[in-house]
């Protein structure tokens, strides 16, 4: 999962897009099962979050993510692992990717309490967490004017 989570659009075979892989291999359902609290070890959960963010790279893939239960699963993960700084940092990075697309942005902001979670991170000690939280809040403000 770590290798696949680092693939960019350019790393995929010619003519292959993330939404095609997501559909052909049922990645949303697979990742959703791995994100169930207590189902997987922290390193698998971390790689699953990274893969979610990587998959959200175009309108079709963001629509597939928004129509699945992944965003709610990620939010539940946040509630369960909010004390794990690595997972929180990767969740923020994933949320930042989601905020680029209308479908995932709306699902994230209006179906979860992600806004409050992101806002809470601005006061954290870890500089990287603060920076990505601030970027997320800037995007929310820009799109919610």
pTM score of the predicted model: 0.92
How many domains does the chain divide into?
1
| The predicted structure's pLDDT at residue 64 | 96
Please give the average per-residue pLDDT across 118-139, as a whole number: 94
| The predicted structure's pLDDT at residue 145 | 60
| The predicted structure's pLDDT at residue 85 | 92
Host domain of residue 81: 4-143
CATH number at residue 51: 1.25.10.10
Question: Which contacts (CB < 8 Å, 24+ apart) does range 101-107 have?
Answer: 101/56, 101/58, 101/59, 101/62, 101/66, 102/62, 103/59, 103/62, 103/63, 103/65, 103/66, 103/67, 104/56, 104/62, 104/65, 104/66, 104/71, 105/143, 106/66, 107/66, 107/71
């Amino acid at each position: 999962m770590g290798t696949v989570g680092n693939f960019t659009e350019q790393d995929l075979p010619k003519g292959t897009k993330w939404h095609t892989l997501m559909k052909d291999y049922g990645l949303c359902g697979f990742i959703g099962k791995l994100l169930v609290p207590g189902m997987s070890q922290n390193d698998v959960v971390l790689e699953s979050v990274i893969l979610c963010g990587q998959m959200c790279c175009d309108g079709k893939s963001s629509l597939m993510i928004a129509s699945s239960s992944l965003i709610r699963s990620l939010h539940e993960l946040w509630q369960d692992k909010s004390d794990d700084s690595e997972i929180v940092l990767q969740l923020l990075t994933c949320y930042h990717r989601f905020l680029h697309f209308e479908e995932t942005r709306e699902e994230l902001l209006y179906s979860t309490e992600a806004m409050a979670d992101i806002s809470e991170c601005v006061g954290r000690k870890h500089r990287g967490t603060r920076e990505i939280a601030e970027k997320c809040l800037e995007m929310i403000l820009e799109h919610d004017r």
